[in-house]
Amino acid sequence: MTDYDNREKSADIALLKEMNSLRDIIENNSDWIWEVDVTGRYTFSSAKSIELLGRLPHEVIGKTPFDFMPKDEAHRVGKLFAEIAAERIPFAGLQNRNIRADGSEVLIESSGIPLFDHNGEFKGYRGIDRNLSNLPYNASQRLFELESIYSSAPAGLCFIDTALHYLTVNDYLAELLGKKTVEVNGHKVADFLPGIIPILQSALLKAYCNDSIPDAEFQMPDKQRVFFMRINAARYPSGQVSGLSVAMIDISALKKMEEKLRSSKQHYRNMVELNPQIPWTASPDGMITNVSSRFEKITGLTREEALADRWLRTIHADDRHPTLISWEHSLQTHDPLDVEIRFCHVEKGWNWMRIRAVPSVDEHGNVECWYGTAEDIHERKLLELKLIKANRRLEIQARTDSLTKLPNRREFKKVLAHEFMRARRSASPLAVLMVAEHILQSIRAMGIKHSESKFRKVTISLGVTVYQSHLHSSITDQSDLMLAADQALYYSKKNGRNQFNLAELPC
């Protein structure tokens, strides 16, 4: 064997020893050494995976770190790791919870560096994981710090088991309950806050179903304070629900502010919706509490004089009583008010106004106040009155002859129908003349010229008929009387005019 062969054999032996030494270092290291590719899947795992995860290396390779984490933890850590990998940077101290093969939970701290091939292409990470579950991190000091923070927190904090008993409460919550912490711990929640039980039961149900627990609001029994509640499920390492962690923050001031803002918005919204002229408000019992300054200009009353029920003195005496009745009806039934009345205007005298109002009610239907407006409708009212008078004149013209100013044929038929029915009921005679005697006298006195008449003036021709119910039983309608009188009138005109003729009715 040549010297070259001896040197080569010695190098192989040295390399083998170095590799065995490196393997021993890896396998006997207290940390778990691993490598992942660009997709985050394990390509190498030391035997320490057995101790940390309870899984052999070949059971780990091909999986991702997130396959061994609870769902919510996998989402959290996966998001962080994606940001790190995108930057191709090292990371250290990334704490994460993992589920062992036996179902128990282990806390791991991960650190790693990026790997690149000979072309500089990123190919994954190499790193180590360290078990923090049993790491003595000055536990007594840390527990003291946590208890101090828990006890003095300016919010109600407590831990409630699945049977809805208080296991621990902080000083703030105990003070809210009017007790000391030792008087609350171990007792049922229902003994102190029975109204909160439905919220906790719903939260437990969602925890068992692995659903997120929504925030809630709770009003203390004294109804003076409102609390915002945030509830989180607590679990054993195996994942089983162990209870509920509850935090309560006093939001009473915020709720009052919201209520005032809502009330203010509703107040001005109603004002805008109803107000073309003069806005006003009243208490639930109908007393005026606020009124626009424009009311003072109209009535001459000061704002103080207009408040309460003193505004009634400005209403016309004829309108005052009906207005009070309508207002009282609205106050009792909560119906809107809408009346038109006359106010005493300082410049115009009696001035027509339209008064409207609607109630503002709470969630129980109780009136909180009334919102109203007073609208000047004087000009419109005057036009309405003029229109009424014009309609009356038209009605008179419709039933009056334009020449004689006496009732016309349409009005005559209406009166005749009434008289005919009366004659039948009373068995009294009824005579029909197509022109009344006073018309004859009026026409003669007027002496109206008529060139085509042989009398050279307007004359009167009459047709007459007489109805007696016991003699004319076949007559059932006043139109028969009109027909007979018309025939008699026609005969009078045909036989020289300026005369009258009597038409006999059939028996």
Q: What is the mean pLDDT of residues 282-288?
A: 90
CA 233 to chain centre: 33
Q: What is the rounded average pLDDT of the residues 146-175? A: 81
Cα 243 from Cα 229, distance rounded (Å): 16
Provide the pLDDT confidence category of residue 175 given band limits of 50, 70 and 90: confident
How much is the pLDDT for 432?
A: 67
Q: What is the pLDDT of residue 462?
A: 73
pLDDT in tens, 312-328: 888 888 999 999 999 99
Residue 22 — very low, low, confident or very high, per pLDDT cuts 50/70/90? Answer: very low
CA–CA distance, 123 with 66 (Å, rounded to integer): 19
Q: What confidence score (pLDDT) does residue 237 get?
A: 76
Q: What tens digit of pLDDT does each residue of 422-464 get? A: 877 877 777 666 664 455 566 666 666 655 555 556 566 777 7
So what's the pLDDT on residue 92? 78
**Is residue 26 over pLDDT 50?**
no
> What percent of the chain is helix, strand and coil (3-state, nearest 5)?
45, 25, 30
pLDDT for 459 equals 61
Segment 125-139 shows an average pLDDT of: 74
Query: What pLDDT, on the 0 to 100 scale, is given for residue 499?
Result: 62
Domains and CATH numbers, the chain: 31-131 (3.30.450.20), 144-250 (3.30.450.20), 277-382 (3.30.450.20), 409-503 (no CATH)
For residues 283, 285, 286, 288, the Cα torsion angle rounded to the nearest 10 degrees is: -40
pLDDT of residue 99: 93
In this prediction, residues 317-346 reach a mean pLDDT of: 91
Beta bridge partners of 431: 466
Q: What is the pLDDT of residues 459-487, one digit of tens each?
A: 667 777 777 777 776 777 777 777 777 77
**Residue keyed to tokens 């984490």:** 69
Select the highest-mean-pLDDT range: 20-24, 217-221, 438-442, 502-506. Answer: 217-221
Residue 140 has pLDDT above 60, yes or no: no
Q: What is the mean pLDDT of residues 56-64?
A: 94
Q: What are phi and psi of 356, to 5 degrees?
A: -125, 150
The residue assigned the tokens 């005679």 is 429
Query: In sequence order, which ranges of 96-251 are alpha helices (DSSP H)?
Result: 139-152, 171-176, 181-184, 197-208
pLDDT band with cut points at 50, 70 and 90 for residue 496: low
| Pairing relationship of beta strands 91-99 and 32-36 according to DSSP bridges | unpaired
Does residue 94 carry a pLDDT above 50?
A: yes
Pair of tokens at residue 65 = 């770190």
Question: What does the pLDDT read at residue 303?
Answer: 76
Separation between Cα atoms, residue 81 and residue 87, nearest integer Å: 10
Instruction: Give the confidence band of 56 by pLDDT, cuts at 50, 70, 90.
Output: very high
Is the confidence at residue 142, as pLDDT, over 60? no
Q: What are the backbone dihedrals phi and psi of residue 337, each rounded to the nearest 5 degrees, phi first?
A: -100, 135
Task: Report the range of poorest mean pLDDT among 22-31, 54-63, 80-89, 270-279.
Answer: 22-31
Q: Which two tokens stand for residue 174?
A: 């105990």
Task: Say if pTM beats, i.e. exceeds, 0.85.
Answer: no
pLDDT score at 283: 92
Percent of the chain beyond pLDDT 70?
Answer: 77
pLDDT digits (tens, 9 = 90+) for 383-413: 888 888 888 887 777 777 666 666 776 777 7
User: Crossing angle for the helix pair 409-426 and 478-494, nearest 10 degrees?
Assistant: 120
**Confidence band, pLDDT 50/70/90 cuts, at residue 25:** very low
Residue 457, strand partner residues: 449
- In this prediction, residues 67-81 reach a mean pLDDT of 89
pLDDT at residue 474 in the model:
74
pLDDT mean over 22-32:
60
The CA distance from 26 to 46, in Å, is 7
Instruction: Supply the Cα-derived Rg of the chain in whole angstroms.
Output: 53
| Neighbouring residues of 51: CB distance < 8 A, sequence distance ≥ 6 | 32, 131
- Given a cut of 60, whether residue 136 has pLDDT beyond it is no
